[in-house]
Chain A
Amino acid sequence: AQSVTQLDSQVPVFEEAPVELRCNYSSSVSVYLFWYVQYPNQGLQLLLKYLSGSTLVKGINGFEAEFNKSQTSFHLRKPSVHISDTAEYFCAVSEWGSQGNLIFGKGTKLSVKP
């Protein structure tokens, strides 16, 4: 069965520092991969997605993620964070040919400090 592990529940970082949020998944078939962001008191918003092709995926707000099939990882990165990036980030996986449901990780709370 597919599963998603977000290795860090909380990541504190100073403004303008780089950040990496880690995500590992398990699946016996090919997958689609997603990162969603949830700002306080809001719903989840799609940040970026990997479907196929280039393993480096660029998303909104300067975020990018790299798909590594051999390590079954899909880590999210940003070279310089802003206070406004403070939010919870969810990694999600969906198997090719599945019924359409996503399996979400537990989330990582990114806290950007001035």
Chain B
Amino acid sequence: DARVTQTPRHKVTEMGQEVTMRCQPILGHNTVFWYRQTMMQGLELLAYFRNRAPLDDSGMPKDRFSAEMPDATLATLKIQPSEPRDSAVYFCASGQAGDWNEQYFGPGTRLTVT
């Protein structure tokens, strides 16, 4: 049963600290997406990658957020420094380009910045 995995599932940190979230896409998928979900804004697309190359990161605050794919099995989203307004659930999703753009979501990382 192929799944997208995300670690950690929960993270509580203090303002100013660095936060790194990790995602393992489904094996064979070549597209990875990062979303943020809050009560106020709903589901927002932050960035996505195709074949490990960034395609669009226009939804991401550039000054503090960065997203990378060190290899095909790992995607990372980093926040440095973190702020209370970054508190949200961060989802990773993966898909196979050409597969009707269907996306498979991970369980999310719930981030709380105090």
**Interface residues, chain A, with chain B CB atoms under 8 Å away:** 32, 34, 36, 42-46, 49, 51, 90, 94, 98-102, 104, 106-107
Contacts and interface: CB of A to CB of B under 8 A. Distances in A.
Name B's interface SS: strand
Contacts of B42: 104, 106-107
Contacts, number: 48
Interface stretch (B12-20, B64-72, B73-81, B95-103): B95-103
A101 B91 contact: no
B101 A100 contact: yes
Interface of B: 4, 31, 33, 42-43, 45, 48, 50, 55-56, 91, 93, 95, 97, 100-108
A42 B33 CA distance: 17
B50 A99 contact: yes
Given A43-B91, A43-B107, A101 B56 contact: yes
A98 B102 CA distance: 12
Contact of B48 (A44, A49, A101): A101
A44 B50 CA distance: 21
14 contacts: A36-B105, A45-B105, A46-B102, A46-B104, A49-B100, A51-B100, A98-B101, A100-B50, A101-B45, A101-B48, A101-B56, A101-B101, A104-B43, A106-B42
Contacts of A51: 100
Contacts of A45: 105
A101 B49 CA distance: 10
Nearest to A43: B105
Contacts of A100: 31, 48, 50, 55, 95, 97, 101
Contacts of A90: 43
Given A43-B106, A51-B100, A106-B42, 14 more contacts: A42-B107, A42-B108, A43-B4, A43-B105, A49-B100, A98-B101, A99-B55, A100-B31, A100-B48, A100-B95, A100-B101, A101-B33, A101-B56, A104-B42
A106 to B, nearest CB: 5
A8 B56 CA distance: 30
Nearest to B106: A43
Contacts of A104: 42-43
